[in-house]
């Protein structure tokens, strides 16, 4: 069985706890991927502009399934952009206002947006994941963009309860998923990382059984179920380990690059 596409989540998977990775080792493996015509895809809940900053030398050669699949860019070209109906955005913001402990970033194609009355600590935290983050008087006023995701933050101990409440309140309008720590994303139904991978597979003629995927959180489940080769990090959530074919070394032990080296044939 040959792998023709390798898809990696970033936080908690490809990146270590310091938000870094072994750049020298990756560079060597990336050259081997190119020689073997294996596509390398970054599949993350984070913003495209943030994700590409990790790969300055080769960003224009790579493909990104950003924003949990809502924005797919391949070699600098836009392949897919999801959109949440503006009326629905308004309805969801109204519902979220009732969650007093939560904080919200509204994610769009051109930028992400945060209300200027949010705590500065939350805004600074947001900037790590959203390199384009605009402060606005309130999120209801954001109109001039294609909006495709809500990124929410709650105290970690509340996340499972909040996920249930959001499921009950929102129905199938947008789907709440855990993306690690206290973060919860609201995504367009059916638009997830696996959907983004399928868009790329169509372009490249790659079958599901030729895909290897790596993840650690709830937003990786569809992608891991979809891929012929699926790997959960040892630091991953239990439900992620349950669907993966194999559990590998943690994100702080170079788990992804070690496994990629194996897949490429030491």
CB of 220 closer than 8 Å to CB of 226? no
Nearest CA among 33, 30, 28 for reference residue 4: 33
In sequence order, what are the residues at sequence separation of 6 or more whose Cβ sits closer than 8 angstroms to the Cβ of residue 209?
1, 228
Active-site annotation holds for 9:
yes
Within 10 A of 45 (CB to CB), how many other CB atoms are there? Answer: 30
Give the 3-state secondary structure of residue 124: helix
Helix (H) or strand (E) holding 262: helix 255-264
3-state helix vs strand vs coil in the chain, percent to 5: 40, 25, 35
In the chain, what is the greatest distance between 2 CA atoms, to the nearest angstrom?
A: 54
Structure tokens at 60: 């224009």
Select which of 9, 183, 185, 220 is catalytic. 9
Listed in sequence order, the DSSP H helices in 97-217 are: 120-129, 159-170, 193-204
DSSP character at residue 12: I
In sequence order, what are the residues at sequence separation of 6 or more whose Cβ sits closer than 8 angstroms to the Cβ of residue 165?
99
Within 10 A of 185 (CB to CB), how many other CB atoms are there? Answer: 24
Question: Strand order of the sheet with strand 175-178?
Answer: 133-136, 112-115, 103-108, 147-153, 183-187, 175-178
Q: Which residues are catalytic?
A: 9
């Amino acid at each position: 069985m040959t792998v023709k596409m390798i898809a990696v989540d970033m936080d908690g998977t490809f990146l270590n706890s310091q938000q870094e990775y072994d750049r020298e080792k990756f560079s060597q493996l990336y050259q081997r991927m190119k020689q073997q015509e294996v596509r390398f895809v970054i599949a993350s809940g984070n913003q495209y502009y943030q994700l590409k900053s990790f790969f300055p030398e080769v960003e224009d050669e790579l493909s990104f399934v950003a924003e949990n699949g809502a924005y797919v860019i391949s070699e600098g070209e836009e392949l897919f952009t999801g959109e949440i109906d503006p009326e629905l955005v308004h309805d969801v913001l109204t519902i979220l206002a009732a969650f007093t402990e939560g904080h919200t970033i509204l994610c769009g194609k051109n930028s992400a947006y945060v209300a200027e009355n949010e705590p500065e600590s939350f805004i600074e935290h947001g900037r790590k994941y959203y390199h384009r983050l605009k402060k606005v008087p309130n999120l209801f006023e954001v109109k001039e963009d294609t909006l495709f995701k809500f990124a929410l933050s709650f105290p970690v101990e509340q996340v499972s309860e909040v996920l249930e409440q959001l499921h009950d309140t929102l129905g199938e309008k947008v789907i709440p998923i855990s993306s690690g720590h206290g973060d919860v994303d609201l995504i367009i139904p059916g638009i997830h990382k696996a959907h983004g991978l399928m868009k790329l597979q169509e372009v490249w003629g790659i079958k599901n059984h030729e895909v290897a995927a790596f993840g650690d959180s709830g937003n990786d489940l569809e992608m891991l179920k979809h891929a012929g080769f699926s790997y959960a990090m040892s630091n991953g959530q239990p439900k992620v380990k349950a669907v993966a074919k194999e559990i590998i070394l943690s994100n702080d032990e170079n788990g992804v690059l070690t496994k990629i080296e194996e897949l490429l044939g030491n």
